[in-house]
Structure 1
Amino acid sequence: MTADSSHRRRAPWWFVLAGRLLEPWVRLRRDPAEPASLLKPGVPVCYVIERDGLSDALILERACREAGLPSPLQPLAGTRRRRSVFALAHRDGWLFGRRHRRMPDQLLRQLLDTLDATPDGDVQLVPVAIYVGRAPGREEGWFRVLFSENWVMVGGFRRLLALLLNGRDTVVHFSAPVSLRAIRAESGAMPPERLSRKMARVLRTHFRRIRAAVIGPDLSHRRTVVDAVLNAEPVRQAIAATAARERIPYAKAWRRAHKLILEIAADYSHPVVRSVSSLLSNFWNKLYDGIAMHHFDKARAAAPGYEVIYVPSHRSHADYLLLSYQLHVSGVVVPHIAAGVNLNLPVVGPILRRGGAFFLRRSFAGNALYSVIFNEYVAQLIERGVPMEYFIEGGRSRTGRLLAPRSGMLMMTVRAFLRAPHRPILFQPVYIGYEKLMEGKSYIGELSGKPKEKESLLGLIKGLKVLRQRYGHVALNFGEPIELIPELEAASANWRAATGDPEAKPEWLAPLVDRLAEKIQINVNRAADVNPINLLALALLGTPKHAMAENDLLAQLELTRAFLVELPYSDRVTVTALEPAAMIAYGEQMGWIRRVRHPLGDVLLADDEPAVLLSYFRNNVLHLMATAAWVACCFLNNRRMSRASVIRLGRIIYPFIQGELFLPWDTDGFAAQLQATVDFFLRRGLLESSGEGRLLERGPGQDDGAFRLRVIARSLIQAFERYYIAIAALVRSGPHRLSAGELETTCTLIAQRLSLLSEEAAPEFFDKALFRGFIRKLREQRVVWTDPNGKLDYAEALEDMVRDARVILSRDVRHSILKIAGSGDRAPPAPPATAGAAPAVTDAVAEIPDGEVAAALHERHVAAEHLRHEREHHEDGPQPPAQE
């Protein structure tokens, strides 16, 4: 007798008929594919399912029959039960009855009684989860996904529709069996009634975990999250404080809090997520030529057991949708996304909210109640194991570089974990790379001084014209994940002492969050994708007119690609496989470059507007070329230079370009990369060495090798010009004259004017944030500090930076900067400093050709020398100020 016939003979005729009618509409996928290997031979099997519907019984019977498992319809051996299956949820009525989550006390107690009566017997409980319409990675029409599997225990009619529409995507998940005898032995003298209730709770918890892994956590009803937030003790205290402070009734303050949490909270809907995913599939096909994910398998393998926080780069509004869409179609739960409240537009906002977006205001200042509620909402998501996504840059990058991180969301995340450190947190950096941006033109306008256009529904409708264009390929590269617990242990061996207290703010917390933010940005950059547009931008923007002869461009593309391949930045950087000729053809096809025919050889160029936009894509990968650009910069104005000088100056400048580009090395690591880069240039013939490798020399200015080096150097030279602007402006004004904010403004104005008077500069050349970062690094290096009056003072190390500028910047550039910096009214000399080290005047100062800067430094050092002479006659003198 076959297994099939034995199953059929035990089933009633109406059950067999229903199974045959349903069979054409249902296609099963078992997980695992061979569940029989999980069972212990010779031990009776009892299956446990979530609901008691006819369809689930039919699906279970068919899955067991096809897998060669014991039939759920046969009597349970050794018991009086007529079936070897029971459900945790019971429904009253047949078609439209209500479903109740009842504990099957009587059923479990019967099993326990039978077990007690047969000391040598045992029963295997096998939980079986059945999901209709959630096969990971499957794409269906928008109407079908409305009836896909979710957390709602639907009635018979809706289940029938789900089977008819989505039955071919049915998953039957068999869990490892549980020995009833072992449970009884572990419970000791526990009464059967209590044990049966405990078993029911354990089984329900097990099914919830399986369902959460397959379709995501149960946040379909935000009411449960809203209630949890409003009932949390910190929020109740904040409501009471608001009522007392504003002298309003508690009920009115509570209604205000309720309104705020409704403004914030997501209203996650699995059917909406699947519907939008289906619509986006067509949208992406119209917009992009392909979406690639790299190293996703590594990210998926690292995620189990962790609360995953996705922290991608932020380049476009499309970032939100792209990452969520790719995760969904790859069978991973869509994360909840922190979105700016400016995106909570009519029509769009509700859709985003149901797709997992929760909204936050740009500033929490002046609204303590809002701050407490938002923090509690984030804590509730983390406690419930909900994956999240947020952009630590705070906003979209307008320059193509990673922005300085804002630590607000990171701080909330870390504090929420410290409050309830149940599930470890894993930060997953993601690099998102484009070949063309929908917002490109608006970014350039904003960098040029135009106000940011406020998001609106009308603006969104007008923006639909972008669908007429093609935007090339998109890459999502998953970087090296970062575990929070090791970072906590490195910050403080006693970090667990801060757990449980929602108000805890240990001294090590803020530095930890800052280091974590920087590490995330570094790991994002370490997962960069280099596409043909990036390489074309690096090459063409390195020439004054953004044009190259075709042969030169081919050679430059080959050189850059070879550098990235031979000296890999990290094992997660991906580089286009296209050959140089194919890159040029692709750039022409995308409209980035234009070919000018000429009898002596074609010229490829980027016109004015594309050239400005290309700077964005050059900046995406500028960090990958940092070592090459530095070495090349050393030979812009020098024919010969010692290897030791290249490395020494690189060590000095590294902290500043490291802070700007989020480079991964320490100073010694950067020096080692410079050594490898010099060796690469020697192998390629761009440099020659003599004196047993100690002296480096490039070819004459008209040499091809010198031309290649100039192109590489120009990608980074404007950064050094910005540094010199900041130093010149500070020294030109004198110590104790400018605050950090005033210096930022001064530098921005100088850079803007310089870009107007000289060749066109990149839009970020006068970006105030870049000057702010450089000044911050000067303070971190204790080259500059703030006096008690909030003004900047500086040390003699600034002298070295002025002197070293001669190596990199030409005399004309330095003269132009000094002329603009001194075009205003000259500040009177400051009185002798009352604090700070007092270095002696060195011969190197007198050798500096920049008279204005040298004179100011000379004044400063003479005054400091005089002050030191006076201090020698006093037992106690004022101490150098500490960095603020």
Structure 2
Amino acid sequence: MAAGTTATPCCTGARCWPSRPHPPAWPGQPAPWLRPAPPARTVPQRPRWPPVLARASPDRPMNARPVRERRPPWALSLLGALLRPWLKIKRDPAEPAQLLDPEQPVLYVIERRGISDTLILDQACQEAGLPSPLRAGRRLPARRRRALLALDPQHGLFGPRRRHAARDGLLAQLRALQSQPGRDVQLVPVSIYVGRAPNRESGWFRVLFSENWAVVGRFRRLLALLLNGRDSIVHFSPPVSLRKLLIEADGETPPRLALKLSRVLRAHFRRVRAAVIGPDLSHRRTLVDALLASEPVRTAITQNALKEKTSRASAQRRARGYAMEIAADYSHPVVRSASFALSGFWNKLFDGISMHHFESLRAIAPGHEVIYVPSHRSHADYLLLSYQLYKNGLVPPHIAAGVNLNLPVVGPLLRRGGAFFLRRSFKANALYSSVFAAYVDQLLQRGVAMEYFVEGGRSRTGRLLPPRAGMLAITLRAFLRTPRRPVVFQPVYIGYEKLMEGDSYLDELSGRPKQKESLLGVLRGFGVLRRRYGRVTLNFGEPIFLERILEQHAPDWRSTRGNEDERPGWFPKAVDSLAERINIEVNRAAHVNPINLLAVCLLATPKHALAEQDLRNQLALYKTLLTELPYSARVTITPAAPEEIVAYGERMGWIRRIKHPLGDVLVTEGDQAVLLSYFRNNVLHLFAPAAWVAACFLNNRRMARASVLRMGRMVYPFIRSELFLPWDDNSFGERLGATIELFVRHGLLQTVGDARLLERGAGQDDEAYQLRVLAHSLLQTFERYYIAIATLVKAGPGAFTAAELEQTCVLTAQRLSLLQQLTAPEFFDKALFRGFIQQLREQGAVRSNSANKLEFDAELAAVVRDARLILSRGVRETVLKIVPGSEPAASTASGD
């Protein structure tokens, strides 16, 4: 336009722009500002989740006009289509859409940047009905090409490296939310693992490319996808509201908040990765170097050099040898290989593996130091538990194994699978003790899950063994020294229907010495593959949080943290309480399988035989007891009906049917009966209250309700100690009352008069017979108590030390077992008598004098007289005839 000229409006139409001159029109055509406006294009939009949000501005209200979403680049869509046949995704949780608010936009955060992770996340979102991370970026307050952030630094192909791309992305969203008060963003952390879940179709070569902590290149990632893409896990964490973070920031600036949030996300991804694939363990030698550099070990090395009068270098070499003997050499490929091999192994051995209450563990595992404390009944225990944890997405723990298992070939494999070895006893070796304690301390500091058996060894009788608290004490001291993460103990009940070690247990229970582990023994053990062992059940008990235990015994326990030398007075009691609580929670998670129920029924009869209908009735009674009066919420029971249980026992070879015209008889005989006692003892604690009430009516047809409760409270401390029962004295009385009501309700007992008296039916009644069978399941326990007390009373005060009384009781029980032809090896178990004598001391019934002999008061003789209410005259007279002592004491004790 020439200088000085002005543009004048040519029209007053709405499409005219008066501030600019109009270009000339082509001849014969109207001026462009006079042309009619083209009709608006309407493209049908399919509904999207969540609703499309437009960016708000002062002159345009939010959601006034939908924003058109860009399609992903065609190359990315092509790669996604090519990758889809190679992927099979397992989502955790299975329905992540339930975690999100459909009205708010979503911003996904992943741990590592990569095209493969982006495409895997996109497919997982499509399968779960979630918004795509590739198309939802324009819904965010601060628009992005994708609704996706990666925490690792961004590498440009030619441009510079962006170290803080994720933080900048978070900062942009936070600033946008500050200017748009009505908006919010759901931040969803997503963890992606390729090649994590084992299955039988996996090949050995795939193990090399399974998920680990290493940052791999594009080619290795491509191979991992091709080989292991069908074993992928996508873990969606609960969303985080950025609006809520801004509100709770209390005036904190967006840059500072974005920095803090990125750090929290990195820690979160590390916790989830450690829970899923295991902690980031450096080389074994690096861990050993850190262990030897710790202050307690350095002090122990110096003291050992002075004590042994050797050089410090020599003592340090000895300490390094101990550390190399102890330390595991965890290998993810070996664990992956083991999971592949064990899949086929379990299928050959078992008819299936069941697992209950696992979700409670999954919920607490991230962020906690988990220590698994299962029952120990077979060498398969730790393999089964580690396999099931790995299969279900948690890292297998490091397992404390006896040094006797550090065999050639076997030891290195176990070590690479996470086993660390310890000697049976090392109290006298201060240097070894310091090295071992420092190793446990290192595991705790690195967040490594551990597993050990508080029983110390495998149970040969089926009962939980008295706990050996050495490992618990080491763990507690390590936690008090450096409490970095909260510690939780996870009890696990492992139940079998047949044991691989059954034959060796029979030999040991008959008096043969335990066979020492050897490589040849391991090779012979492959003979178990020729048999089937039924089903296995793993029940996860109530988690035990260490800090709560410490709060109960020492509310000021935090003041002792970091003190190497101080051993607080409350420490031993806290360790003992924790050990007992673990065994109680293991029992509270028991599984009752068909073999358990058959064992409880048949072994309570003199000849281990029952008519088929009587056996069915007894099985139905036991299932009624367990369902109508549950022991705990974590006890599980077989759903099989009584007739199905009988048929299953026959198929498994535990019982034999004897045909008879008047009705078939089911019987178990010989070694089978001895082994069945193992499975009876697994669940005997579940029937203890009912067995006590039934025992009160063995020799009495009528009894006062108050007497049943009074004597039950008197004997309960001893039963509780032996069977690790969960109730206190008052709660046990309430449990007995509820059991009596159940018996009355089902006709096993009747009330007399004003219900203060209880009465059973005549001896030939079916109900009386059922009570008698139930009572005999616990009768041998009462006979053992009677042996110990009668031996004391008959010999008189000051006759025995605790050790002498224990040995005398064992010999008496062995002889009584021969006379009565008992098939219960635990009847003369030395540990059970030792525990009973200890309980007598704790209850104040007996005490030691200056000569270490046991003294007692006259009340103990009254207990012997009260035994006539439970034990038959024949049993009492046989016991008193066998035990040594003077005749006057015997005659006094045996009077009715």
Q: Could you state the TM-score of these two structures normalised by the residue count of structure 1? A: 0.82
Between the aligned partners of 1:653 and 1:488, the Cα distance in structure 2 is: 30
1:548–1:36: structure 2 CA closer, same or farther, 3 Å change rule? closer
Match of 1:8 among 43, 50, 73: 73
User: 1:469-548 residue pairs with structure 2 within 5 A?
Assistant: 469-548=531-610
Distance across 2 between alignment mates of 1:580 and 1:49: 53
User: Structure 1's 811 and 111: CA in aligned 2 closer, same or farther, altered over 3 A?
Assistant: closer
Mapping of residues 390-409 of structure 1, within 5 Å = 390-409=452-471
Over 3 Å counting, the alpha-carbon distance change for 1:579 and 1:21 in structure 2 is closer
* Structure 2 residues without counterparts, runs of 5 or longer: 1-42, 46-67
Shift of 1:446: 1.4
Structure 1 residue 131: Cα displacement: 3.0
- Is 1:654 the equivalent of 2:716? yes
Residue in 2 that maps onto 1:463: 525
**Alpha-carbon distance, 1:73 to partner:** 13
Asked whether the 8 Å contact 2:301–2:319 carries over to 1, the reply is yes
Equivalent of residue 321 in structure 2, options 223, 244, 259 = 259
- Cα deviations across residues 512-533 of structure 1 (Å, max 9, x unaligned)? 1111111111111111111111
**Match in the other structure for 2:86:** 25
Where does residue 247 of structure 1 map in the other structure? 309
Report what 1:273 is aligned to.
335
Contact preservation (8 Å) 1:335, 1:389:
yes
Mapped contact 1:131–1:149 kept (Cα < 8 A): yes
Determine whether 1:631 maps to 2:696: no
Residue 595, structure 1, aligned to residue 657, structure 2? yes
Aligned equivalent of 1:871: none
Report the CA distance between 1:627 and its aligned residue: 1.4
Q: How does 1:176-187 map to 2 (within 5 A)?
A: none
- CA contact under 8 A between 1:64 and 1:70: conserved in structure 2? no
Residue of structure 2 equivalent to 1:318: 380
Residues 1:335 and 2:372 are matched in the alignment: no
Counterpart amino acid of residue 852 in structure 1 = A
3-state DSSP class of the match of 1:416? helix
Q: Distance in 2 between matches of 1:668 and 1:174?
A: 46
Give the partner amino acid of 2:889: E
Contact 1:39–1:177, Cα closer than 8 Å, also in 2: no
**Is 1:305 aligned to residue 367 of structure 2?**
yes
For residues 178-202 of structure 1, what are the alpha-carbon distances to aligned partners after superposition, in whole Å with 9 as ceiling and x for unaligned? 989999x958999xxxx99999977
- Which residue does the alignment assign to 1:447? 509
For residue 365 of structure 1, report the CA deviation from its aligned partner. Answer: 2.3
Cα 1:231–1:717 change in 2 (3 A) is same
- Aligned residue identity for 2:520: L
Structure 2 counterpart of 1:868: none
- Secondary structure in structure 2 of the residue aligned to 1:793: strand
Could you tell me how far apart the structure 2 residues matched to 1:73 and 1:307 are? 38
- For 1:47 and 1:528, how far apart are their aligned partners in 2? 41
CA distance in 1 between counterparts of 2:828 and 2:108 reads 72
SS at match of 1:309: strand
Change (3 A) 1:809 1:265: same
Cα distance in 2 for residues equivalent to 1:566 and 1:306:
36
Please state whether the residue corresponding to 2:400 is helix, strand or coil: strand
Q: State the secondary structure of the residue aligned to 1:426.
A: strand
1:578 aligns with 2:640: yes
| CA offsets 1:59-117 (integer angstroms, 9 cap, x no match) | 6898899954458999x9999999998874699999xxxxxxx9955979999999999
Separation in structure 2 between the aligned mates of residue 204 and residue 371 of structure 1, nearest angstrom: 36
User: Alpha carbons of 1:306 and 1:111: their partners in 2 closer, same or farther (altered >3 Å)?
Assistant: closer
Give distance in 1, aligned partners of 2:176 and 2:761.
Answer: 94
Q: Deviations over 1:703-756 (max 9, x none)?
A: 333322221121111111111211222233333332211211111111111212
Which amino acid is the alignment partner of residue 786 of structure 2?
Y
1:46–1:72 Cα contact (<8 Å) kept: no
SS at 1:299 equivalent: helix
- Counterpart mapping for 1:289-300 below 5 A: 289-300=351-362
Q: Which amino acid aligns with 1:602?
A: D
- The aligned runs of 1:738-753 (5 Å cut-off) are 738-753=800-815
Contact (CA 8 Å) 1:135, 1:169: kept in 2 or not? yes
User: Judging changes above 3 Å, is the alpha-carbon distance between structure 1 residues 179 and 103 closer, same or farther for their aligned structure 2 residues?
Assistant: farther
2:300 to 238, 249, 255: 238
1:687 aligned residue? 749
Q: Which TM-score applies when normalising by structure 2? A: 0.81
Q: How does 1:777-788 map to 2 (within 5 A)?
A: 777-788=839-850
Deviation at 1:396, TM superposition (A): 0.9
Query: Percent of counterpart pairs with the same letter?
Result: 60
Does the aligned pair in 1 maintain the 2:108–2:133 contact within 8 Å? no
1:31 offset after TM fit, Å?
Answer: 7.6
Give 1:789-828 correspondences, 5 Å limit. Answer: 789-822=851-884
Task: State the distance in 2 between where 1:428 and 1:619 align.
Answer: 22
- The answer to whether the 8 Å contact 1:103/1:200 transfers is no
1:368–1:691 CA distance, 2 compared to 1 (3 A): same
**Contact persistence 2:171–2:254 (CA under 8 A):** no
Q: 2 CA distance for matches of 1:210 and 1:159?
A: 20
Say if 1:60 and 1:72, in contact at 8 Å, map to a contact too. no
Q: Which amino acid aligns with 1:153?
A: V
Q: Mapping of 1:363-374 within 5 angstroms? A: 363-374=425-436
Q: Which amino acid aligns with 1:382?
A: L
Q: Which has the larger radius of gyration?
A: 2
Question: Cα deviation per residue 1:299-330 (whole Å; 9 max; x = unaligned)?
Answer: 33344432222211111111111111112222
Question: Is 2:378–2:458's contact at 8 Å kept on the other side of the alignment?
Answer: yes
1:852 to 889, 893, 896: 889
Q: Measured at CA, do residues 333 and 598 of structure 1 come closer, stay the same or move farther in structure 2, by a change above 3 Å?
A: same
2:69/2:135 contact within 8 Å kept: no
CA spacing shift, 1:202–1:516, aligned 2, 3 Å: closer
- The change in CA–CA distance for 1:77 and 1:715 in structure 2 (over 3 A counts) is closer
Give yes or no for contact 2:141–2:177 (8 Å, CA) kept in 1: no
The alpha carbon displacement at 1:612 in A equals 0.8
What count of residue pairs does the alignment treat as equivalent? 815
In structure 2, distance between residues paired with 1:501 and 1:28? 48
Corresponding residue of 2:612: 550
Q: Distance in 2 between matches of 1:446 and 1:766?
A: 13
Q: In 1, Cα distance between the equivalents of 2:321 and 2:773?
A: 57
Q: Secondary structure at the match of 1:50?
A: coil
Q: 1:366 to 1:138 in 2, by over 3 A?
A: same
Measured at CA, do residues 113 and 169 of structure 1 come closer, stay the same or move farther in structure 2, by a change above 3 Å? closer
Question: Where does 1:51-66 land on structure 2 (aligned, <5 Å)?
Answer: none
Shift of 1:779: 0.2
Change beyond 3 A, Cα 1:196–1:272 = same
Deviation at 1:852, TM superposition (A): 2.7
The CA deviation at 1:398 is 0.8
Moved more, 54-63 or 145-154: 54-63
Is 1:165 paired with 2:202?
no
**Against the structure 1 CA distance between its residues 61 and 121, is the aligned structure 2 distance closer, same or farther, given a 3 Å change threshold?**
farther
CA contact (8 A) 2:797 2:854 kept: yes
How far 1:434 sits from its partner (Å)? Answer: 1.1
Give the match for residue 827 of structure 2. Answer: 765
Equivalent-residue separation in structure 2 for 1:629 and 1:244 (angstroms): 60
Question: Secondary structure in 2 aligned to 1:146?
Answer: helix
Which moves more between the two structures, 76-85 or 292-301?
76-85
Q: Distance in 2 between matches of 1:117 and 1:679?
A: 67
- Distance, in Å, in 1 between the alignment partners of 2:671 and 2:200 is 42
Worse-superposed segment, 431-440 or 304-313: 304-313
What residue number does 1:875 align with?
none
Measure how far apart 1:433 and its partner are.
Answer: 1.2
2:53 is matched with none
- The CA distance in 2 between the partners of 1:528 and 1:447, in whole Å, is 24
